[in-house]
Structure 1
Amino acid sequence: MRYVLYLVMMCVVALGVGFGLSWVALNEGRLFGATQVGPWVAWTDVGSNSPNPYTRAHIARAAALPLGQSEGLQFTATTDSAGEPLTRACTYRISGRTPVASFWTLAAVDADGINVAALDADAALRSNRLARSGDGAIAVTVGTTLMPLNWLEITGEGPFQLVLTLYDMPAFAGFSSPADMPEITTERCR
């Protein structure tokens, strides 16, 4: 009887650890194929000829149609640079530099990937339509209240994600430090 009890306990522990690690690998991914630079996370193997198994599972789970490796790379941020979750009750400032790319877009989506931009606003900000500072840095405000210059208007309540998609970027663009990616700062919350 003791043998059966130990066997059942070992199976429960093995299944719990196995499913738990699989869930972490597919959702977090930082240890299994995703690259994190500040608050931005990208699955760099997406679009390659032979992505690692965790990247393939992440793509299948998200039901995504990824860009090819030579076409670009998509970064997602669910937190600001201080580590606080992004919520539509707050206004955020995205500032700094973006990696070298011919073109990029910045969109806000909910957890299901549905765009949360206001109905009468652009679905995403595009790099060719931004006002920039003299040194080429960007300054974008994301929120529900009107702001001057570059503003991505969002609507609704609850958490959201920022998706920065870089198109036609050099293979070795380099984005290893947080200075290579824009910073996300919380300005105010209602």
Structure 2
Amino acid sequence: MRFVLRLLMMFAVALAVGFGLSYYALTDGRYFGILQSGPWTAWPDAGSPAPNPYTRAHAVRAGTLPLGQAEGLQFTATTDSTGEPLIRSCGYRLDGHTPVATFWTLVAIDAGGRNVARPGTALAMRSRDIARPEDGAIRVHVGTRLMPGNWLELTGRGPFSLVLTLYDTVASSGFGADVDAMPAIVREGCR
């Protein structure tokens, strides 16, 4: 009887460790093929013809249709540059440069993948629609309260993610790519 209990306990521990590590690999992915720059993460193999098993499993779990490698790369941020989670009761400023891309979009989504931009406003911030400072950097404000300059107005409460999609980019190719040139996400204040 004691042998059977120990055997069952070993199976339970093995299953818990196996499923726990698999869950970690699919949600965090830090050691399994992600590209990270500050708070921004991307799965560069997602659009390749033969992605690694972790990338494939992440895409299936998230239910996304990734861009092909020649089409672009999608970066997601769930925290600001200090590591604090993004919440809609706070205002944020994206400051800095993006890797070279023909075009980019910035969208705010909730945990269910729904766009949280205020109805009646632009659902996404586009690279061609923003005013830039003289140095060519981007400065975009994100939040529920009115802010000066480029502003992505949000609605509701709770956490959100920012998705920056770079189209026709060399960010993951290694040819002249500067992936460290991602905009910082600075918290400006909370209500």
Q: TM-score range by the shorter chain?
A: over 0.9
Q: Which amino acid aligns with 1:181?
A: M
Deviations along 1:62-119, whole A, 9 cap, x unmatched?
A: 1111100000000000000000000000000000000000000000000111000000
Structure 2 distance, partners of 1:118, 1:175, is: 33
Matched, 1:184 2:189: no
Q: What does 1:37-186 align with in structure 2 at a 5 Å threshold?
A: 37-170=37-170, 171-172=173-174, 173-177=176-180, 180-186=181-187
The aligned counterpart of 1:34 is: 34
Q: Which moved more, 1:155-164 or 1:56-65?
A: 56-65
Q: Which residue of 2 aligns with 1:10?
A: 10
State the AA in 2 paired with 1:100: V
The amino acid that maps onto 1:142 is V
Query: Which residue identity does 1:140 align to in structure 2?
Result: V
Deviation (angstroms), 1:146: 1.0
Q: Is the 8 A contact 2:142 2:153 kept in 1?
A: yes
CA contact under 8 A between 2:99 and 2:179: conserved in structure 1?
no
* C-alpha separation in 2, matches of 1:2 and 1:34: 44
Equivalent AA in structure 1 for residue 165 of structure 2 = T
Instruction: Give the secondary structure class of the aligned counterpart of 1:103.
Output: strand
Question: For 1:115, what is the secondary structure of its paired residue?
Answer: coil
Give the C-alpha shift of residue 2 in structure 1: 2.1
CA contact (8 A) 1:37 1:175 kept: no
* 8 Å CA contact 1:77, 1:162 repeated in 2: yes
User: Which SS does the other structure have where 1:168 is aligned?
Assistant: strand
CA positional deviation for 1:9 = 1.1
Q: Which residues of structure 2 form unaligned runs of 5+? A: none
The CA distance in 1 between the partners of 2:49 and 2:109, in whole Å, is 28
Q: What's the offset of the Cα at 1:176?
A: 4.5
3-state SS in 2 of match to 1:22: helix
Q: Partners of 1:131 and 1:69 in 2: how far apart?
A: 29
Aligned partners of 1:140 and 1:189: how far apart in 2?
17
SS in 2 for 1:102: strand
How many pairs does the alignment contain?
A: 188
Name the SS of the counterpart of 1:45 in structure 2: helix
Instruction: Say what the alpha-carbon RMSD is for the aligned residues.
Output: 0.9
The list of structure 1 runs, each at least 4 consecutive aligned residues, that deviate by more than 2 angstroms after superposition, is 170-177
Q: Any conservation in 1 of the 2:88–2:157 contact (CA below 8 Å)?
A: yes
Aligned partners of 1:76, 1:30: CA distance in 2, in Å?
13
TM-score, L = length of structure 2: 0.96
Q: Give the letter aligned to residue 8 of structure 1.
A: L
**Sequence identity percentage:** 63
Q: For the residues of structure 2 that align with 1:88 and 1:15, how far apart are their CA atoms?
A: 37
